[in-house]
Structure 1
Amino acid sequence: MTPTKPSRGLFLVDIDGTVALRRPGPRERAPYDWHRVGEDLPNAPVITVVQALAAAGHGIIYVTGRSDACRASTRAWLAEHVAVPGEALLMRKDGDRRRDTTVKSELYKRHVRPNEQVTAVLEDRATVVAMWRGLGLTVLQVADGDF
């Protein structure tokens, strides 16, 4: 899936820990419990930023470590809670157990870098933030994400 050209800058947006938060408590979804991603809570401050960027004409590409096994439920969650469809939803292949840094770097190099110049990335996880910065991208880190 090749992203379309946005009218202004392009922002890469992570999902888990960035626009979506796992519901806390005894029934909290495990990180790889893909069939429960629809239960995640919206991270309102970050969603407000994504909506403002899109309203200003910036392109949005979601780059997530989620498996494409939950593509439909992820799209439904984004439609309900973010209401910014984005140019693309880039996800790991079902069964791919490699680190998020490896998967996201490959998704970026294959689908985004050849076609687009990225303005910034919205991300929570420190290791992934370091990877994006190592690729020369500006990152707006939305949480500590030290795991």
Structure 2
Amino acid sequence: MRAVIFDIDGTLADVSHRLHHLDGEKDWNAFFKAMADDAPVEPIARLARMLRHNAEARRDIDAVLIVTARPDREDWRRTTLDWLALHDIPYDAIYMRPEGDIRADHLVKAEMLQRILDDGYEPVLVIDDRPQVVRMWREHGITTLQCAPDEPASSAYAGQTLLHMLVGPCAAGKSTFAAATYQPHEIVSTDALRIQLYGDLGHAPEALARVWKLAHGIIRARLEAGVFTVLDATNLKAKDRLRVLELLPRGVFARYVVVDRDLADKLRERDWRSEDLVMKQHRLFRAEEEAILAGDQHSYVTVQDRRAR
């Protein structure tokens, strides 16, 4: 079945009124909550209606598909379907981002494309707005119309690698490596911030949340000023790495610096850390290792593996 694919945010829907939720510290929950108030981009909506009419008449195409990176959460799916109905935007099937998938849009939509093909559709045209997603569709040989301007202007520091993110489990020797490799004023250490705020390295969730909020604020301010910054933290979870990468000014690069050592050494020199914590983070690092070494598939992230061989 020949199909035309439409994106929603920035394509069918005008999201300009809610983009402020993504300035500075990004509030994705507020961003998506406000989507019910989007106005349709009427020229694109009219195109969808016209093509769906053609599909009904079995002319040039057979189906209109909606492919969106909105998370497939029950309430957001309902809001999305209600919005499409309210604005009389017809479609034959809708594909949404699996809930909890925090990867870049172009990676998520590349997997959606395989689902679309498995469902028997043959995409012949895509209308999307984001350059990286448009590039992905075109790389798969699909004619794609970009319906919005290219990305906003890059930072004055575009092209520079201003952030080194140390990645490795606790007791891996990251702080020792940082002290031997970087200048003290370049390092933002979450352990150091915990000591400054609370006088110890306690792990109360509310304390850690405050530490990370402070760390993110410091990192953002440094990067916006073009100051080279090293983040000394475990950074083992993909969502935590992404949260830091979102602080990068447009066009600025980051590097994952991977630090680890033998488990026996970590257990022997674990200091204040419990054996259970060391083992837990060792296993988490192994589970995340492939994604970390691939830079989480981000084109603006390079990787330096500093582990002993």
TM-score where L is the length of structure 1: 0.85
The answer on 1:96 being equivalent to 2:106 is no
The answer on 1:18 being equivalent to 2:11 is yes
Are 1:124 and 1:142, in contact at CA under 8 Å, matched by a contact in 2?
yes
Partner secondary structure for residue 89 of structure 1: strand
Counterpart amino acid of residue 122 in structure 2:
Q
> What does residue range 1-147 of structure 1 map to in structure 2 within 5 Å?
5=1, 9-24=2-17, 30=21, 32=28, 33-57=31-55, 58=61, 59-69=63-73, 70-84=76-90, 86-109=91-114, 111-114=115-118, 115-146=120-151
- Say which structure, 1 or 2, has more relative contact order (CA 8 Å, 6+ apart): 1
Are 2:70 and 2:96, in contact at CA under 8 Å, matched by a contact in 1?
yes
Offset, 1:30: 3.0
Are 1:18 and 1:123, in contact at CA under 8 Å, matched by a contact in 2?
yes
Counterpart amino acid of residue 55 in structure 1:
H
Counterpart amino acid of residue 42 in structure 1:
P
Pairs aligned (count)? 136
Question: Which digits, 9 at most, give the CA deviation of each residue in 1:30-61, with x for residues without a partner?
Answer: 36322221011110011011110001113111
Counterpart amino acid of residue 69 in structure 2:
G
Offset, 1:98: 0.5
Structure 2 runs not aligned, ≥5 long:
23-27, 56-60, 153-309
Counterpart amino acid of residue 51 in structure 1:
R
Distance in 1 of aligned mates of 2:125 and 2:19: 30
Question: Which digits, 9 at most, give the CA deviation of each residue in 1:118-143, with x for residues without a partner?
Answer: 11001011110000001111101111
Distance in 1 of aligned mates of 2:3 and 2:20: 31
Partner secondary structure for residue 16 of structure 1: coil
Q: 1:46 to 1:89 in 2, by over 3 A?
A: same
TM-score where L is the length of structure 2: 0.42
Are 1:29 and 1:36, in contact at CA under 8 Å, matched by a contact in 2?
no
More helix by share: 2
Distance in 1 of aligned mates of 2:84 and 2:21: 19
Distance in 1 of aligned mates of 2:140 and 2:128: 14
Counterpart amino acid of residue 71 in structure 1:
R
Larger Rg: 2
Distance in 2 of aligned mates of 1:144 and 1:35: 25
Are 2:45 and 2:89, in contact at CA under 8 Å, matched by a contact in 1?
no
Are 2:4 and 2:65, in contact at CA under 8 Å, matched by a contact in 1?
yes
Offset, 1:145: 4.2
Structure 1 runs not aligned, ≥5 long:
none
Among the aligned pairs, what percent are the same residue? 32
Distance in 1 of aligned mates of 2:150 and 2:80: 21
Counterpart amino acid of residue 54 in structure 1:
R
RMSD, aligned α-carbons: 1.7
Name segments (4+ residues, structure 1) moved above 4 Å.
none
Partner secondary structure for residue 47 of structure 1: helix
